[in-house]
């Protein structure tokens, strides 16, 4: 059975299904109850499941995550919402110093089955601290799963897979895609939680991306096809761990790779993927691995964010440079 819905509605439906499936699932965050969250992802869930399972928390990110950690250790499966990406940093210490290490610290005796939901990325015309892409901080931290959907279908299933995970998940939601619609199969999960997806098949070069930039990469691939170029597009879906096998197989086939993400270039996910491809595919590469990313700057004012974010022209320019080598 399929339905057409936005990513926001798909996340809401996925959370609803998780709450129905397990009485130990609890949601918490600022304004997620009566208001339904800034983006209405939790709309009507407090009405239907009660204020003890959908909790309006104080404005205190470190306290939200720290409380969820304690609940997870007591057998609950908390799902907490950070209102915007740039507000996660007060909770950063709890996530990387406590949540991520508990299984290792306890020699496997204690797990932390919790989800930290973070709307992330730009292109919504927001002010400072509302458009950031912090995924590399978390991907750099052992013990955390870092995942991000790019479609309503993945949003619906991946949020349920995140809640069911026995390890802590940082779940990044591309806010610029919240209101875009897609078909959602409500009966069959599409892929394993940590598997990448080949969105388009091609033979000349591979575009590797995740979250908000997957759609832009598909648009670039379709534009390139009018000039006779065949681009493969991979949606990573899981930033940590990476699906090494899918990435490697694609680049060994095409011989060229371009990694696209909104986050700044230095120390980003693109650099990690480029290093892995250098190790695995040295004799298959026809050109250096390229990156199309945000610039090494704080996220700019919304008036000029279009100049900061990767777009179709910058991706096609990278394809031209790769094909010229």
Distance CA 86, CA 72 (A): 24
> Residue 273: which of 258, 284, 256 has the closest Cα?
258
* 130 labelled catalytic: yes
- The separation between CA 87 and the C-alpha centre of its own chain, rounded to angstroms, equals 17
- Tell the burial category of 183 from Cβ atoms under 10 Å away from its Cβ (0-12, 13-18, 19+): exposed
Q: Which of the following is catalytic: 44, 130, 140, 179?
A: 130
> Residue 274: which of 317, 223, 322 has the closest Cα?
322
Identify the DSSP state of 95. I
**SS3 state of residue 145:** strand
Q: Is 196 in contact with 246 (CB distance < 8 Å)? A: yes
Count other C-beta atoms under 10 Å from residue 92's C-beta.
16
What are the catalytic residues? 130
């Amino acid at each position: 059975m399929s339905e057409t819905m936005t990513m926001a509605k798909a996340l809401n439906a996925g959370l609803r299904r998780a709450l129905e499936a397990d009485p130990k699932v609890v949601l918490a965050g600022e304004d997620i109850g009566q208001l339904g969250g800034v983006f209405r992802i939790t709309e009507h869930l407090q009405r239907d499941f009660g204020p003890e399972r959908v909790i309006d928390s104080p404005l205190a990110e470190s306290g939200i995550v720290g409380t969820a950690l304690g609940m997870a250790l007591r057998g609950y499966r908390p799902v907490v919402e950070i209102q915007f990406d740039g507000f996660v940093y007060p909770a950063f210490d709890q996530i990387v110093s406590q949540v991520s290490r508990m299984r290792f610290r306890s020699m496997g005796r204690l797990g932390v089955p919790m989800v930290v939901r973070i709307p992330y990325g730009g292109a919504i015309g927001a002010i400072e601290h509302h458009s950031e892409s912090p995924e590399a901080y978390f991907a750099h931290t052992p013990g955390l799963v870092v995942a991000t959907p790019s479609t309503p279908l993945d949003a619906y299933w991946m949020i349920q897979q995140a809640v069911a995970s026995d390890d802590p998940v940082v779940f990044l939601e591309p806010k610029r895609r919240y209101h875009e619609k897609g078909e959602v199969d409500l009966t069959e999960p599409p892929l394993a939680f940590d598997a990448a997806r080949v969105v388009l098949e091609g033979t000349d070069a591979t575009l590797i991306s995740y979250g908000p930039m997957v759609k832009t990469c598909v648009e670039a691939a379709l534009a390139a096809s009018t000039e006779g170029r065949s681009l493969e597009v991979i949606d990573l879906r899981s930033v940590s761990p990476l699906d090494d096998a899918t990435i490697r197989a694609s680049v060994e086939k095409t011989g060229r790779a371009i990694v696209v993400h909104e986050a700044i270039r230095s120390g980003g996910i693109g650099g990690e993927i480029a290093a892995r491809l250098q190790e695995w595919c040295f004799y298959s590469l026809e050109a250096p691995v390229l990156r199309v990313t945000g610039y090494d700057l704080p996220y700019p004012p919304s008036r000029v964010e279009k100049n900061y974010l990767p777009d179709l022209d910058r991706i096609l320019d990278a394809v031209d440079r790769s094909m010229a080598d």
